[in-house]
Chains A and B, each alone.
Chain A
Amino acid sequence: MQSRRRKYLWLIFSASWLLLVLLGAPRLRQLAIPPSLRPRTLTSWPRWLDQELLPNFVEPEELTKDPCPPSCSTRQWQRQRPGCLMETCFDTSRCQSHGFKVFVYPVGLTQPISEIHHKVLASIEGSGYHTANPEEACLFVLPGDALSPQLLPLWNGGQNHLIFHLHPGSWPDLGFDLGQAMLARASPKPETLRLGFDVALPLFPQSYPQRGGSRGQLAHLIPPPGEDLLAFESQLDARVTGSSNHLDQTICQPSPRFCLLQKSGPRALGFSDNILLSCFSFQAGCIPVLLSSGWELPFSEVIDWGTATIMIDERHLLQVMGPALQELPPARILALRQQTQFLWDAYFSSVEKIVHTTLEIIRDRIFRAAARPWLLWNAPPGGLLALPTFSTQPGDFPFYYLQRGSRPSGKFSALIWVGALDQPPLKLIQEVAGSQHCAQVCLFPNWRGFPTPTYSHRGVTLIFLLLQKSDRFFPYSAIGTDAILSLDAHSSLSTSGLLSFVVWQSFPERIVGFQTQSHFWDEIKGSWGYTDQRPNEFSMVLMDAAFYHRYYHVLFTHFLPAPLRDLVDELSECEDILMNFLVAEVTKLPPIKVPQRKHCYNLTPGLPGPPRREQPSRDCISKFASWFGHMPLVHSQLRLDPVLFKDQVSVLRKKYRHLERL
Chain B
Amino acid sequence: VCKEETVCVSMCAPVKYNIRGPALIPRMKTKHRLYYITLFSVVLLGLIATGVFQFWPHSIESSSDWAVEKRSVHDVPVVRLPADSPLPERGDLSCRMHTCFDVYRCGFNPKNKIKVYIYSLKKYVDDFGVPVSNTISREYNELLTAISDSDFYTDDINRACLFVPSIDVLNQNTLRIKETAQALAQLARWDRGTNQLLFNMLPGEPPDYNTALDVPRDRALLAGGGFSTWTYRQGYDVSIPVYSSLSAEVDLPERGPGPRRYFLLSSQMALHPEYRSDLEALQAKHEESVLVLEKCTNLSEGVLSTRKRCHKDQVFDYPQVLQEASFCMVLRGARLGQAVLSDVLQAGCVPVIIADSYILPFSEVLDWKRASVVIPEEKMRDMYSVLRSIPQRQIEEMQRQARWFWEAYFQSMKAIAMATLQIINDRIYPYAAISYEEWNDPPAVKWSSVSNPLFLPLIPPQSQGFTAIVLTYDRVESLFRVITEVSKVPSLSKLLVVWNNQNKNPPEDSLWPKIRVPLKVVRTAENKLSNRFFPYDEIETEAVLAIDDDIIMLTADELQFGYEVWREFPDRLVGYPGRLHLWDHEMSKWKYESEWTNEVSMVLTGVAFYHKYFNYLYTYKMPGDIKNWVDAHMNCEDIAMNFLVANVTGKAVIKVTPRKKFKCPECTAIDGLSLDQTHMVERSECINKFASVFGTMPLKVVEHRADPVLYKDDFPEKLKSFPNIGSL
Cα(A320)–Cα(B114), bound, Å: 13
Contact B711 A61 (CB under 8 A): no
Contact A599 B450 (CB under 8 A): no
Tell me which residues across on chain B come within 8 A of A371, comparing CB atoms. 369
- Interface: A32 (CB within 8 A): no
Complex Cα spacing A37 to B423, Å: 31
Q: Is the CB of B270 within 8 A of A374?
A: no
Residues of chain A within 8 A of B431, CB atoms compared? 310-312, 320, 324, 328
Judge whether A6 is part of the interface by a CB distance below 8 angstroms: yes
Binary interface encoding of chain B residues 130-144 relative to chain A, with 1 for a CB under 8 A from any of its CBs, else 0? 000010111111001
Asked if A174 is at the interface of the complex by the 8 Å CB criterion, the answer is no
**Which residues of chain B are near A328, meaning CB under 8 Å?**
431
Known contacts A6-B28, A312-B430, A642-B598; decide if A402 and B450 are in contact (CB<8 Å): yes
Assuming A54-B137, A405-B445, is B94 touching A45 (CB within 8 A)?
Answer: no
The segment from B333-341, B496-504, B665-673 found at the interface with A is B333-341
A613 contacts partner chain B, Cβ-Cβ < 8 Å: no
Instruction: Point out the residue from A195, A378, A637 that lies within 8 Å of B709, measured CB to CB.
Output: A637
Q: CA A179 – CA B9 in complex, angstroms?
A: 82
From B5, B12, B461, B568, contact of A636 by CB (8 A): B568
User: Using Cβ atoms and an 8 Å threshold, which residues of chain A touch B59?
Assistant: none
Which of these, A225, A324, A637, A644, contacts B540 with CB under 8 Å?
A225
**A478 / chain B contacts, CB cutoff of 8 Å:** none
Q: Does B300 contact A (CB under 8 A)?
A: no
B155 close to A42 (CB less than 8 A):
yes
Q: Within the assembled complex, what's the spacing in Å between the Cα atoms of A594 and B651?
A: 19
A324 to B112, CA, bound (A): 9
List residues of chain B with CB within 8 A of the CB of A21: 12-13, 16
From A506, A588, A601, A646, give the contact of B458 (CB < 8 A): A588
Chain B residues near A639: list those with CB within 8 A.
706-709, 711
In whole angstroms, what is the CA distance A336 to B141 when docked? 42
Judge whether A638 is part of the interface by a CB distance below 8 angstroms. Answer: yes
Binds A, one of B50-58, B79-87, B470-478, B623-631: B50-58
In the complex, A69 has a CB within 8 A of chain B: yes
CB within 8 Å for A54 and B449 given contacts A20-B50, A26-B8: no
Please give, as numbers and ranges, the residues of chain A lying within 8 Å of B481 by CB-CB distance.
none
Q: Mark B252-278, 1 if CB is under 8 A from A, else 0.
A: 000000000000000011111011000
Q: A293–B707 contact, CB under 8 A? A: no
Cβ proximity bits B703-716 to A, threshold 8 Å, 1 near / 0 not: 11111111111110
B-contact 0/1 string along A1-16, CB 8 Å cutoff = 0000010011011101
**Closest CB-CB distance, A190 to chain B, in whole Å?**
7
Contact B721 A403 (CB under 8 A): no
Residue pair A44, B153 in contact (C-beta under 8 Å): yes
List A329-369 residues whose CB lies under 8 Å from chain B.
330-331, 334-335, 338-339, 341-342, 368-369
Contacts of A536 in B (CB 8 A): 708-710, 719-721
CA distance A162 to B35 in the complex (A): 101
B432 contacts across to A, CB distance below 8 A: 324
Smallest CB-CB separation from B145: which chain A residue? A45
Query: Which residues from B are CB-within-8-Å of A374?
Result: 367, 369-370, 436, 440
* Bound form: Cα–Cα A69–B107 in Å: 47
Q: Which of A6, A48, A68, A311 contacts B430 (CB 8 A)?
A: A311
If A68-B272, A642-B598 touch, whether A378 touches B104 (CB-CB below 8 Å) is no
In the bound complex, what is the Cα–Cα distance between A39 and B707 (angstroms)? Answer: 68
> CB within 8 A of A641: which of B70, B375, B705?
B705
**Minimal beta-carbon separation of B395 from chain A (angstroms):** 11
B413 to chain A, nearest CB (A): 9
User: Given the complex, which residues of B lie within 8 Å of A190, measured CB to CB?
Assistant: 96, 234-235
**Interface flag for A74 (CB, 8 Å):** yes
The docked-state distance in angstroms from the alpha carbon of A287 to that of B726 is 44
Q: Which of A23, A61, A330, A599 contacts B54 (CB 8 A)?
A: A23
CB distance from A596 to the nearest CB of B (A): 10
Interface flags for A224-268 (1: CB within 8 Å of B; 0: not) read 110000000000000000000000000000000000000000000
Is there a chain A Cβ closer than 8 Å to B312's Cβ? Answer: no
Per a CB cutoff under 8 Å, which of A23, A51, A538 touches B47?
A23
Contact of A506 among B94, B456, B561, B704 (CB under 8 A): B704
The minimal Cβ–Cβ distance linking A90 to chain B, given in whole angstroms, is 9
Interface contact B708-A304, CB-CB below 8 Å = no
Q: Is the CB of A405 within 8 A of B449?
A: yes
The reply on A464 being an interface residue by CB < 8 A is no
Which residue from A10, A48, A63, A654 sits with its C-beta under 8 Å from B71? A48
Q: How far is the CA of A19 from the CA of B13 in the complex (A)?
A: 9
State which residues 633-664 of B face A: CB under 8 Å: 649-652, 655, 658-659
Task: Report chain A residues within 8 Å CB of B147.
Answer: 45
Judging by beta carbons under 8 Å apart, are B708 and A65 in contact? Answer: no
Mark the stretch among B186-194, B376-384, B403-411 that contacts chain A: B376-384
> Which residues of the other chain, B, contact A316 by a CB distance below 8 angstroms?
103-104, 106-107
A-facing mask of B357-400, CB < 8 A → 1, else 0?
A: 10000000001011001111111000000100111011001000
Instruction: Report A351-397 residues with CB < 8 Å from chain B CB.
Output: 368-369, 371, 373-374, 378-380, 392-393
A658 is an interface residue with CB less than 8 A from chain B: no
List the B side residues contacting A379 at CB < 8 Å. Answer: 455
Interface members, chain A 19-77 (any B CB < 8 Å)? 19-27, 29, 35, 39-51, 54-58, 60-61, 63-74
Q: A536-B709, A589-B457 are in contact. Are A45 and B596 (CB under 8 A)?
A: no
Number of interface residues of B (CB under 8 A): 190
- B677-713: which residues lie under 8 A (CB-CB) from chain A? 702-713
- Give the chain A neighbours of B9 by CB distance below 8 A: 22
B542 contacts A221, CB within 8 Å?
Answer: yes
Residues of B within 8 A of A48 (CB): 71-73, 141
Are B206 and A92 in contact, CB atoms less than 8 angstroms apart? no
Known interface pairs A23-B51, A310-B431, A643-B598; A599-B714 also in contact (CB < 8 Å): yes
A87 touches B704 (CB 8 A): no
Compute how far the CA of A593 lies from the CA of B451 in the bound complex, rounded to whole angstroms. Answer: 27
Q: Cβ of A606 < 8 Å from any Cβ of B?
A: no
Contact pattern, A 302-320, Cβ under 8 Å of B = 1, otherwise 0: 0010110011110110011
CA distance A588 to B448 in the complex (A): 26
- Are A402 and B714 in contact, with the CB atoms below 8 A? no
Alpha-carbon separation in the docked complex, A404 to B338 (Å): 32
- Cross-chain contact B47 with A16 (CB below 8 angstroms): yes
- Chain B residues lying within 8 Å of A307, measured Cβ to Cβ, are 435-436
Instruction: Indicate if the CB atoms of B578 and A338 lie closer than 8 Å.
Output: no
Smallest CB separation, A26 vs chain B (Å): 6
| Neighbouring A residues of B659 by C-beta, 8 Å | 644, 647, 649
Chain B, residues 37-55, CB within 8 Å of chain A (1/0): the string is 0001001101100110110
Chain A positions near chain B (C-beta within 8 angstroms): 6, 9-10, 12-14, 16-27, 29, 35, 39-51, 54-58, 60-61, 63-74, 78, 81-83, 85-88, 92, 190-191, 195-196, 218-222, 224-225, 292-294, 304, 306-307, 310-313, 315-316, 319-320, 324, 328, 330-331, 334-335, 338-339, 341-342, 368-369, 371, 373-374, 378-380, 392-393, 402-405, 499, 502-503, 506, 516, 535-538, 587-590, 593-594, 599, 601, 634, 636-647, 649, 653-656, 662
Q: A69-B207, A195-B234 are in contact. List 20 more A-B contacts (CB 8 A).
A: A9-B36, A14-B17, A16-B47, A25-B8, A29-B8, A43-B63, A46-B121, A47-B69, A56-B138, A85-B229, A190-B96, A218-B458, A304-B436, A320-B112, A339-B456, A342-B456, A393-B393, A637-B721, A640-B707, A655-B598
**CB-CB nearest 10 A-B residue pairs:** A405-B448, A45-B148, A311-B430, A338-B456, A57-B137, A66-B333, A294-B98, A54-B138, A640-B704, A57-B170
A-B contact pairs, 29 of them (CB 8 A): A9-B40, A17-B43, A24-B53, A45-B147, A47-B145, A48-B71, A56-B139, A58-B202, A67-B270, A67-B334, A68-B333, A74-B356, A85-B229, A86-B376, A190-B234, A221-B611, A294-B98, A328-B431, A338-B456, A393-B391, A402-B651, A588-B458, A590-B568, A599-B713, A634-B459, A638-B561, A641-B706, A642-B598, A656-B598
